[in-house]
Structure 1
């Protein structure tokens, strides 16, 4: 017998929730429409924050023209209400609306009837609110703190201190510091419960170092795969079979703007290379004994067989 809640109203039962499409493409777990700006068309505030700048300016201009056109028609409906304006002229009424909306007030055209003064008062309030909202949205877009953090394209699994270790890289692309930076890694995979139901479960992956007082250059995150690790006993094939992926979340305080910034990256099962290691990005020079960080090798990896043969050592 199918269970149906009895406390739902008729409107709630008739309301249909949106369908979200989930795809598994090339071993990658994808949610169609994730973080796409045009999916916010039902939420104007989020839409105005996520739409590209060209679209934001286009929406503002169109709304500005539309509002002034509507008020121009309102002035024309009342007849000859604007002094020094040609009766029935839409351009004169439109430009008078522009002056009223922006509180310009050149003085050549002005309302001469009670009806026109009422429309002017309404438009002044609408203009005040409209300018305040548009200014707030523009400021919110400019002032949003962002982090320019680069993550390695792949993660690798290789021995470290005698234990297989999952490793990936992060780099701060700005020439500043992210203070009290914290790095968290989560493993998402399909599992079966004791009742025989599939569930998408989240596991925390413990890092050798999950925080740093100052993140300025690079950060090599390492997770030892021991008996307490959710990755213990898993292989590349089992990761793909369970649609596993790693979600990396980095947060910290940007010293330039003194605000918290966030960065996120995902590694799918196909992005995890087993028996590989990263090429060292730190080089030493013999002439001045300085150290240099070469980001040209940031994404490069080599198989462990080549490392042991000595053919790819730097």
Structure 2
């Protein structure tokens, strides 16, 4: 019989998990010189839309303010602008950077023409980069997949089975959808070394040709399962993390999309079963009640 590695019990409930509740990596990296600001393209692609708009707006204001100071340094170099007026220089910079050119204010000296030339080039480059970032953010394929907040363990065909739900929130289909579940947990090797191990979990059905509505994912807890032999108490004491990944082809944009979710030990309900959310309407149509999508009931 294959000897199972010793599990590392975690009695400190305050220990951080590999992934936080918002699915981001909850790890402090020491000795790494990487900074988000050293990779601005990736930062601008991954931040939320409000932060993205705020960063672009801040860059726009700061750039125009710097050029306004450059115009003021040249003295009275803008026609029809009040001498020493920062607001006139700022709005002249806005007109120049955006290539508006109303004609009320225009450069009157050689110095101003040089600054205008530099700003026009900067404006063209900034517009190209902002347009490319906006297109990249809009064209990036995304999935709207709803995962159940909890997972449940209940008998299925006489075998204890881990189950959770997934649903496609869009009114389209995900083709050739594939679900993968991996278990992460702390273990101690025979030499006494603590380590974090990955286990691929076998599913009763890991692929579906069409994912349009809901999908109940099942993992039988048999002798080959990494959960075999665990009880509700031992499961709660283990720093366990179930990582779920879904990949498929969005039929609307014909691009590969992916979604991910994770469950920790506290999310697993023992001897519970998901509530049935399917019903038949009087006219014969099938109805799905998503208000009970996350609900479980005792076996």
* TM-score, length-scaled by structure 2: 0.84
The structure-2 alpha-carbon separation of the partners of 1:284 and 1:57, relative to structure 1 and needing over 3 Å to count, comes to closer
Post-superposition CA distance 1:99-134 (Å, at most 9, x none): 111111222322232222211111111111111122
Q: Residue 9 of structure 2 aligns with which residue?
A: none
Task: Select the residue among 2, 16, 29 that pairs with 2:17.
Answer: 29
* TM-score, length-scaled by structure 1: 0.80
Partners of 2:173 and 2:211 within 8 A in 1: yes
**Mapped partners of 2:148, 2:196: distance in 1:** 25
The structure-2 alpha-carbon separation of the partners of 1:288 and 1:62, relative to structure 1 and needing over 3 Å to count, comes to closer
Deviation at 1:280, TM superposition (A): 1.9
Partners of 1:27 and 1:270 within 8 A in 2: no
Q: Where do 5+ consecutive residues of structure 2 fail to align?
A: 1-11, 26-34
Task: Select the residue among 277, 281, 286 that pairs with 1:281.
Answer: 277
Q: Does 1:159 align with 2:134?
A: no
Q: Residue 291 of structure 2 aligns with which residue?
A: 296
The structure-2 alpha-carbon separation of the partners of 1:216 and 1:136, relative to structure 1 and needing over 3 Å to count, comes to same
Q: Where do 5+ consecutive residues of structure 1 fail to align?
A: 1-23, 305-314
Partners of 1:28 and 1:243 within 8 A in 2: no
Task: Select the residue among 210, 216, 233 that pairs with 1:214.
Answer: 210
Q: Does 1:68 align with 2:64?
A: yes
Deviation at 1:26, TM superposition (A): 7.0
The structure-2 alpha-carbon separation of the partners of 1:221 and 1:31, relative to structure 1 and needing over 3 Å to count, comes to closer
Point out the more displaced range, 214-223 or 261-270: 261-270
The structure-2 alpha-carbon separation of the partners of 1:68 and 1:105, relative to structure 1 and needing over 3 Å to count, comes to same
Partners of 1:27 and 1:268 within 8 A in 2: no
Deviation at 1:211, TM superposition (A): 0.8
Q: Does 1:149 align with 2:135?
A: no
Partners of 1:27 and 1:240 within 8 A in 2: no
Show structure 1 runs of 4+ deviating over 6 A: none
Q: Residue 166 of structure 2 aligns with which residue?
A: 170
Partner of 2:17, secondary structure, is strand
Point out the more displaced range, 99-108 or 133-142: 133-142
**Mapped partners of 2:14, 2:260: distance in 1:** 21
Point out the more displaced range, 183-192 or 77-86: 77-86
Post-superposition CA distance 1:269-314 (Å, at most 9, x none): 12112222222222245x545433222332222222xxxxxxxxxx
Partners of 2:143 and 2:259 within 8 A in 1: yes
Task: Select the residue among 201, 216, 223 that pairs with 1:227.
Answer: 223
